[in-house]
Amino acid sequence: MPQRPALFRLRHAALAAVSAVMALSMPSAMAWTNKPVRMLVPAPAGGTMDVIARLLADQLSQDLGQPVVVDNKPGAGGGIAISAMLQAPPDGQTIMVTATNVLTEVPHVLKTPYHTMTDIRPVAAVARSRLLLVGAPSLPAKDLKSLVNYVHANPGKLSFASYSAGTASHYAGVIMNQKAGLDLAHVPFAGSSPALAQVMGGQIALMYDGMVTSLPMIRAGKLQAYAVASKSRSPLLPQVPTFAELGYRMWSSATGSA
């Protein structure tokens, strides 16, 4: 049976981790191919997966001496991109950069025509990231306790965005609803960028997002950050407490991506 196209697996992106992994991969990458490579991304341009894919594509192109073309195919919880990869010739010229939860979690909540454990071969984990709770700058609540109280005081009026149904971004909102007794409605999007645009514009109150895409907006004052899902505070946002510090220990070691 011919081997399926290889898959580059993105482990919840963090920019600092990318160059070290690429350097370790360089010798095998240079012996990989002498043809152009198509790199599928199951998310729209501008999201965490897309940012990492383009960094990786640039480095691979230099190492291989061949074009590495990023092809964004968002939708269906990653299913559109995965199907495109599996339908490509099994010659290793079509690969994919994705978050692990697209392979490990989404198939449990969405019906897929493929089996991620047998149809797809992970090649490398290239990065990690922390999940953040961010909100519209217009929200009057400026910390998590005030935010919970504000949602309680406005039942049925607020919602949270995710970068796709079945992702860590979605699960985080559902878990927080349960733990804090909130009634935030879920609004899924095809990627971080369109979701964040709605949050920044105030049409949607909140989102659980990866730091890669949210950090520039937080620094620019276009988003406010309430908490980070990790064991310790991020050195990039030292002023933002962890959920555990605030009494929500279910995410003491959580990470996320888009």
Query: What CATH number has the domain bearing residue 176?
Result: 3.40.190.10
Q: Is there a domain that residue 256 lies in?
A: no
Domain's final residue, options 125, 145, 161:
125
13 and 116 fall within a common domain: yes
> What is the predicted pLDDT for the residue at 219?
95
Tell me the per-residue pLDDT of 211-244, one tens digit each, with 9 for 90 and over. Answer: 888 999 999 999 999 999 888 899 999 999 999 9
Rounded to whole angstroms, how far apart are CA atoms 137 and 207? Answer: 12
> What is the predicted pLDDT for the residue at 109?
66
Q: What is the mean pLDDT of residues 26-46?
A: 73
The two three-digit tokens of residue 235, written as one number: 């050195």
Q: What is the mean pLDDT of residues 17-35?
A: 44
Confidence of residue 159 (pLDDT cuts 50, 70, 90): very high
> Residue 30 pLDDT more than 70?
no
Rounded to whole angstroms, how far apart are CA atoms 46 and 16? Answer: 18
Q: Is there a domain that residue 29 lies in?
A: yes
Q: What is the mean pLDDT of residues 59-83?
A: 88
**Whole-number Cα distances in Å, 29 to 33, 66, 99, 161, 231:** 8, 11, 21, 37, 34
* Enclosing domain of residue 83: 6-125
Q: What is the mean pLDDT of residues 86-106?
A: 81
210 and 101 fall within a common domain: no
Q: Is there a domain that residue 1 lies in?
A: no
Rounded to whole angstroms, how far apart are CA atoms 255 and 210? Answer: 8
User: Which residue from 48, 253, 258 is spatially nearest to 168, judged by alpha carbons?
Assistant: 258
Lowest mean pLDDT among 7-16, 54-63, 67-76, 217-226: 7-16
163 and 244 fall within a common domain: yes
Helix (H) or strand (E) holding 63: helix 48-64
Q: Is there a domain that residue 258 lies in?
A: no
8 A C-beta contact, residue 125 and residue 9: yes
> Residue 10 pLDDT more than 60?
no
Phi, psi dihedrals of residue 43, rounded to the nearest 5°: -160, 155
Burial of 110 (C-beta count, 10 Å sphere; 0-12/13-18/19+): middle
CATH number at residue 94: 3.40.50
Domain's final residue, options 97, 125, 153:
125
Give pTM, 2 decimals: 0.68
Q: How many C-beta atoms surround the C-beta of residue 247 within 10 A?
A: 10
> Residue 257 pLDDT more than 70?
no
> What is the predicted pLDDT for the residue at 211?
86
Confidence of residue 164 (pLDDT cuts 50, 70, 90): confident
> What is the predicted pLDDT for the residue at 108?
67
Q: What is the mean pLDDT of residues 19-40?
A: 56
The two three-digit tokens of residue 128, written as one number: 């990690």
138 and 229 fall within a common domain: yes
111 and 206 fall within a common domain: no
> Residue 86 pLDDT more than 70?
yes
Phi, psi dihedrals of residue 229, rounded to the nearest 5°: -95, 85
Q: Count the domains in the chain.
A: 2
Q: What is the mean pLDDT of residues 39-49?
A: 84
Phi, psi dihedrals of residue 209, rounded to the nearest 5°: -135, 160
Tell me the per-residue pLDDT of 169-204, one tens digit each, with 9 for 90 and over. Answer: 888 999 999 999 999 999 998 888 889 999 999 999
Confidence of residue 11 (pLDDT cuts 50, 70, 90): very low
22 and 97 fall within a common domain: yes
24 and 104 fall within a common domain: yes
Domain's final residue, options 91, 125, 159:
125
Q: What is the mean pLDDT of the chain?
A: 80
241 and 150 fall within a common domain: yes
Task: Give 37's strand partners.
Answer: 68
113 and 150 fall within a common domain: no
The two three-digit tokens of residue 117, written as one number: 């454990």
Rounded to whole angstroms, how far apart are CA atoms 152 and 241? Answer: 21
80 and 138 fall within a common domain: no
119 and 178 fall within a common domain: no
120 and 135 fall within a common domain: no
Rounded to whole angstroms, how far apart are CA atoms 68 and 94? Answer: 10
The more confidently predicted of residues 141 and 85 is: 141
